[in-house]
């Protein structure tokens, strides 16, 4: 089986668990995802420099909640927003991604605590085409 991870093809004749283990060894060079980094990645989508598929690949390869520090030194609601955004873009179908959704994602991860629930609902309900 051939597996493609950001420019690297690995020919695997092993179990899926081995594949996951190899993937983590290859992709875990990033130990922290900062708010600025996430902003930058999403902004690249808005600017047309990153496709929905590339965004999802980035999320899959870099977002491991138990192994990567997310939003260190950010407010708790910002960290939660970042985790929600990354989880949604990791799992959703790429054909449902929209420019409006990316803009809502940026607003959500930058919102104040008093509008967190409203921004979260808006991102989740209006950020994707169904």
Output the pLDDT for position 67. 81
pLDDT value, residue 31: 80
How many other C-beta atoms can be found within 10 angstroms of the C-beta atom of residue 20? 10
Q: What is the pLDDT of residue 16?
A: 45
Q: What per-residue confidence (pLDDT) applies to 125? A: 95
Instruction: Tell me the pTM.
Output: 0.75
Give the tokens for residue 60. Answer: 């899959």
Q: Residue 50 pairs with which residues in a beta bridge? A: none
Burial 26-49 (b: 16+ CB within 10 A, else e): ebeeeeebbbeebeebbebbeeee
How many helices and strands (H and E) does the chain possess?
6, 4
Per-residue pLDDT for the chain (130 aa), expressed as one digit of tens each?
444 444 444 444 444 444 444 444 444 454 899 999 999 999 999 999 999 999 999 999 988 867 889 999 999 999 999 999 999 999 999 999 999 999 999 999 999 999 999 999 999 999 999 7
The pLDDT value recorded for residue 86 is 96
């Amino acid at each position: 089986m051939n597996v493609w991870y950001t420019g690297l093809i690995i020919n695997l004749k092993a179990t899926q668990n081995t594949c996951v283990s190899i993937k983590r060894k290859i992709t875990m060079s990033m130990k922290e995802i900062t708010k600025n980094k996430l902003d930058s990645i999403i902004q690249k989508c808005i600017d047309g420099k990153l496709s929905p598929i590339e965004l999802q690949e980035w999320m899959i390869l870099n977002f491991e909640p138990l192994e990567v520090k997310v939003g260190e030194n950010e407010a708790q609601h910002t960290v939660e927003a970042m985790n929600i955004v990354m989880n949604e873009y990791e799992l959703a179908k790429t054909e449902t991604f929209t420019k409006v959704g990316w803009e809502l994602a940026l607003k959500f991860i930058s919102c104040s605590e008093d509008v967190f629930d409203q921004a979260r609902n808006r991102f989740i309900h209006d950020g994707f085409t169904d």
